[in-house]
Structure 1
């Protein structure tokens, strides 16, 4: 496949309203990892998703184990066949919500969804690795017919496969709460998927495996 760009940070030139942690990685990737927002999964200082956080350290270790990152951890990882995005890439400050929540409100997530939609279309991956409840909810709602039939808690579907419209979805429990068994399960699941012809997932019927 011809490279669409050699840039690894915000390769599609998306313009954000505020300070953001844009998509990062291989713009031709087959694996698109989607997390929540910088305050939860890291990257406010580096500008790279899944860095500077417990979640980032653990997730990068898994991606390295299955051959998608060159090192177990880096602030600017060398990605192969892997692209990372956030459901809400703009930096969200504690106290911006009246209840002091760490997370953006529903209106903010809805407004930011266009950024993720644009990156998903541009990368056109085959596998969506959905990290945490927010990313999983988005994936089930937008890319399967199962949003009202499957749990939206990522821990309940951790390291399983959900085949949707155009993507194979892999739900991932919040990495900060992983046990060693959770980490091993995700490594094994991704190795299994990457060892087979996962490109056949495009356009197949929606199932759960």
Structure 2
């Protein structure tokens, strides 16, 4: 069963506890869920699109297009057309210059988790050390380094609890080969079977298969 949303921006109608926020954006039936930190780090407050409005945004979006995760980007109209991809933040609210503290992350985490579980993407792509540490700690059996070694982790997949996880460095830190490494890894995943499917039919009378993400 697929969920049908009327809009790509904040498709689940979340109401964050702040005046300015960047809720999730994209395909609600996405295979890939790209997860950033917060608008102060990764942008988007003006357009409402995660990862927009930063000096590196054009390169980042072009990389997602090359990887087949976005269909089109039009900076003039501030539109992004996703292709089986959802974009969101751990902490969707605007904060002061110091960024979110631990309590603020904890307060916003249920909204992020609600988006993640509603999307049920097969591949989680945490962007930068904060998102990577959160995803590894909460959705795998591993204990993340503090902070994670992003040069080593970049575009290297690992299995999580029902998800494949593909961490990447924060775009403002990308070197010459980082975009190509990410595109190549996404293409390699496309040649393999990254879908993680469970058969719940064994719990239903009759024994017919019931496959879910």
Between structure 1 and structure 2, the one with the greater Rg is 2
Structure 1 counterpart of 2:38: 37
Note the alpha carbon deviations across 1:150-195, whole angstroms, 9 max, x for none. 9623233001011110110001111101112111101101111123
The answer (yes or no) to whether the contact 1:42–1:55 under 8 Å persists in 2 is no
Q: Which moved more, 1:1-10 or 1:75-84?
A: 1-10
Note the alpha carbon deviations across 1:44-82, whole angstroms, 9 max, x for none. 111110100134323211110011212356432000100
- What are the within-5 Å matches in structure 2 for residues 31-180 of structure 1? 31-71=32-72, 74=75, 75-94=78-97, 101=98, 103-148=99-144, 152-180=148-176
RMSD: 2.0
TM-score, length of structure 1 as denominator length: 0.87
Structure 2 alignment gaps of length 5 or more = 200-213
The answer (yes or no) to whether the contact 1:131–1:154 under 8 Å persists in 2 is no
Query: Within 2, Cα distance between the matches of 1:23 and 1:61?
Result: 19
Shift of 1:107: 0.9
Structure 1 alignment gaps of length 5 or more = 95-100, 204-209
Distance 1:183 1:109, change over 3 A: same
TM-score, length of structure 2 as denominator length: 0.85
- What are the within-5 Å matches in structure 2 for residues 186-197 of structure 1? 186-197=182-193
Distance 1:110 1:154, change over 3 A: farther
Q: Which moved more, 1:181-190 or 1:3-12?
A: 3-12
Show structure 1 runs of 4+ deviating over 4 A.
148-151
Query: Within 2, Cα distance between the matches of 1:47 and 1:72?
Result: 14
